[in-house]
Amino acid sequence: MDYTCLVPYRDGNSNGGAEVDAAADAADAAADAGLSFTIDNSACFYGNDQAYCVDSENTSFKECNMSNSKTYNYDICMAKIFNFTKKNGIQWSKNFISYPNVKKYVNTLEVDRKNCMDRSDGIFVNNGENENEYVCLSSHYEKDERDDTYCIYATTNKSSSDSNSNSTEDSTKDVFCINYPFSRLELCNKANENSNYRLCYKKILDMSKDKLYNLEPYF
């Protein structure tokens, strides 16, 4: 019988309880033992805006057991946890993201599109030839928040690209920043050492032709 125990991650330690568990006795055992879960001994991830770690001792998935280097596989572990918990009634409103670095392991374009568009200022652009490349842009970022992501200047009003337009409102450009939890394009992930703003900008320029206008770099 398959089972797993997920523990909410708190500053390198468990909070003493199992949040998600398909086998109640495994959850009780983990809580009673007061086990400590860290990114050094557990497979951890973000799900529904919460960081969780997999209790290696209380899961049937060998790919999630970090103590066995021969069978441990983070990618497969995340896929199995995601599918198994959903099958058992756990609703994940967002895709899994690795913890502590920010990298997608379970990806569904439609889930990210919905989460992006649920925001009143969300703009979702994607590569029509490759469904694994897409970006969620948002104008809600305050100035002091923009250092953590990549941003561009743009307008959503097509008429503002008309040189004959006299509307001041039309010509106003907003700053749109990448909401990376709902995006999948590593060169646009500022937390990734291989990211590249200029290449990211060119990608967005190409993908957003029918949604954003008058794009300019934002530094």
Q: What is the pLDDT along the chain (219 residues), one digit of tens a residue?
A: 889 999 888 654 443 433 344 333 444 444 444 356 677 788 888 888 788 999 888 899 999 988 888 889 887 788 788 878 888 888 777 778 877 776 665 556 777 888 888 877 889 999 887 877 899 999 888 888 899 899 999 998 765 444 444 443 445 789 999 988 788 888 998 888 889 999 999 999 999 988 888 999 998
Measured between alpha carbons, how far is residue 38 from residues 7, 10, 56, 186, 205 in Å? 10, 9, 11, 25, 40
Domain count of the fold of the chain: 2
Are residues 137 and 40 both part of a single domain? no
- Domain boundary residue, one of 98, 129, 154: 98
Are residues 128 and 80 both part of a single domain? no
Region for residue 49 given its phi and psi (left: phi exceeds 0; alpha: psi -120 to 50; beta: otherwise): left
Q: Is 73 within a domain?
A: yes
Domain that holds residue 192: 109-218
Are residues 124 and 188 both part of a single domain? yes
Predicted TM-score (pTM) above 0.85: no
How buried is residue 78: exposed, middle or buried, by Cβ count under 10 Å (0-12/13-18/19+)?
A: buried
